[in-house]
Structure 1
Amino acid sequence: MGEILFLSHRIPFPPDRGDKIRSHHVLKALAALAPVHVATFCDDAQDRAFERDMAQVAASYRLITRSKSLPVAGLEALATGKPLSLAAFHDRALEQYVRRVLAEHPIDTIYVFSGQMAQYVPADFAGRVVADLVDVDSAKFEAYGARGRGFRSWMERREARLLHREEARICASADVTLLVSRAEADLLRLRVGEHGSRVRAMGNGLDAAFFDPAGVAPEPRMLAHAGPRIVFTGQMDYAPNIEAATRAIDRIMPLVRGTCPDATLHIVGRNPSPSLTARSGSGGIEVWGRVDDIRPWLAAADVALVPLEIARGVQNKVLEAMAMALPVVLSPGAATGIEALDGRDFAIRDSDAAMAQAVVDIAHAPETAAGIGRAARAWILGNASWEAALMRLPEHLGRCPADRREGMTDAV
Structure 2
Amino acid sequence: MRGGRLSRREALAALSTAGLSATTLRLLGGSAWADSPPDAVGPGGIPLARPNRPVKLPVFQKPIESGLKPEKGGTFNIFNYADYVDKKLLDAFAKKYDVNVQVTTFDSMDQAITRLATKAVRNMDVTNVISNRIAQAVAGKLVQPINKDYIPNLQKNCWPQFMSPFYDVDAQYTIPYTVYTTGIGWRSDKVSEDIPKMENPWSIFWQSEKYKGYVSILDDSREALVAAMLYRGEYDLNTEDPKVIDKALEDLLALTSICNVKVNITGYQTLPEGSCWLAHNWSGNVLSAVLAFMPEGGDPTQIQYWAPPPGKGPIQNDMWAVCAGSKKPVLAHLWLNFLLDEDNAYHNFVDYNGYQPPQNSITPERLVASKLIPENLHTAIMTAKDLGPDSLQEAALTNEGLKLWQSAYARFNGG
TM over 0.5: no
The structure with the largest helix share of the pair is: 1
Question: So what's the TM-score if we normalise by structure 2?
Answer: 0.34
Higher RCO, Cα 8 Å, sep 6+: 2
